[in-house]
A = this chain, B = another copy of it.
Amino acid sequence: MAATTDLVVDLGERSYPIRIGRGLLGCPGLLDEYVPGKQAFIVTNEAVRDRYLDPLLASLPRVDVEYACIGDGEAFKTLDTYATLMDRLVTGGHNRTTAIIGLGGGVIGDIAGFIAATYQRGVAFIQVPTTLLALVDSSVGGKTAVNHPRGKNLIGAFYQPRCVIADIGTLETLPTRELKAGLAEVIKYGVIRDAAFFDWLDDNLDRLLALDATALAHAVATSCRIKAAVVQTDERETGLRAILNFGHTFGHALEALTGYERLLHGEAVAIGMVMAADLSSRWGKLPRADARRIRGLIARAGLPVKPPPVSADAMLEAMGMDKKVVDGRIRLVLTDAIGTAALTDQAPEVAIRETLEAGDALCAE
């Protein structure tokens, strides 16, 4: 096991540690202090189970463990899957001291967290993210949810884990496409909050793509630290926290319009960030050169920068059901400069429409 970085997300009585390191899974005693009783229930999927269930069980020697595999992908993050998992918990006789462990990517973490938040009005939750996206996004913030047919994450809760085990060794078996999708969120943290980190990413992108463990650990720790700083200020997203949604209003609409199948979440966010940069620049807030730089880094990470062919009207309608809407106006996170972002409902509709119709000309000269 490599040296670990421990980060604490400071939320008062709901504070918890994120343990970041390579080879954490399998260490005896790893989870002892976070499992309150003698029972645990692991939510995972088949691919992750085959690789990481055994190491995880080795970290849980004194606990009765059951596990459930759910289907892979957003399409399975539904109330139906939720009800099935609840049935398993009840049938298995899990009591209030059980621990729910989410072993997998963002979908697993979201639904396992919502189960933990609502089984017997809340039981212990432990997150073991195995994708870069989950490591840098879902592991901080306490957002749990399932999707509704009409929109992502419309049903859920804020619920903090007892701890997050961020074993960056799991990234070595991650499909390249998913690694890149995770980089979208990593780049986001630079754009919204830390220009120096954006510069570092610009310089070190190749090391990340080559799975350099030191570079990955730095990127994960910095991302989690930035997200933690934002979440600590605004746990329930009444203000600042909204900036974490940079690129997400566009991205969620793209996901919905392509049936949650064509684009990975990180890919949709990548395109969404290019759209948000384009709109910021079109509206005269962000220098065009910075918009191009954002698009450039996203493209170099091997991420899509051009939206699939969906109409502006369809996008506007899909964005209308997004949670960022308050009383009819579309609220978007936009940026004035790399390293800063803010929520606004003032973007002119004509500029929004131009961005939605720009296609491959997003962030162009």
| Chain A residues with a Cβ under 8 A of chain B | 37-38, 79, 83, 86-87, 90-91, 93, 95-97, 114, 117-122, 143-145, 148, 150-151, 153-158, 236-237, 320-321, 323, 325-327
CA distance A122 to B142 in the complex (A): 13
CB–CB B154/A37 < 8 A:
no
CB–CB B93/A86 < 8 A:
no
Please give the distance in Å from A327's CB to the nearest CB on chain B: 6
Please give the distance in Å from A197's CB to the nearest CB on chain B: 28
Please give the distance in Å from A81's CB to the nearest CB on chain B: 12
**A120 proximity list for chain B (CB < 8 A):** 154-156, 323
Give which listed residue, B117, B119, B326, contacts A95 with CB less than 8 A. B326
CB–CB B326/A37 < 8 A:
yes
**A144 proximity list for chain B (CB < 8 A):** 121
List 12 A-B pairs, Cβ < 8 Å. A38-B327, A79-B86, A90-B151, A96-B323, A118-B156, A118-B157, A121-B144, A121-B145, A121-B153, A121-B156, A121-B237, A157-B157
**A143 proximity list for chain B (CB < 8 A):** 121
**A150 proximity list for chain B (CB < 8 A):** 90-91
A321 closest partner in B (C-beta): B93
**A93 proximity list for chain B (CB < 8 A):** 320-321
CB–CB B37/A90 < 8 A:
no
**A38 proximity list for chain B (CB < 8 A):** 327
**A37 proximity list for chain B (CB < 8 A):** 326-327
CA distance A154 to B158 in the complex (A): 19
**A121 proximity list for chain B (CB < 8 A):** 143-145, 153, 156-158, 237
CA distance A150 to B120 in the complex (A): 12
**A118 proximity list for chain B (CB < 8 A):** 114, 118, 155-157
**A86 proximity list for chain B (CB < 8 A):** 79, 148, 154-155
Residue from A79, A91, A121, A326 having most chain B Cβ neighbours under 10 A: A121
**A155 proximity list for chain B (CB < 8 A):** 86, 118-120
CB–CB A158/B122 < 8 A:
yes
**A145 proximity list for chain B (CB < 8 A):** 121
Give which listed residue, B95, B122, B325, contacts A236 with CB less than 8 A. B122
CB–CB A327/B90 < 8 A:
no
CB–CB A323/B95 < 8 A:
yes
CA distance A118 to B117 in the complex (A): 10
**A119 proximity list for chain B (CB < 8 A):** 154-155
**A157 proximity list for chain B (CB < 8 A):** 117-118, 121-122, 157
CA distance A83 to B158 in the complex (A): 19
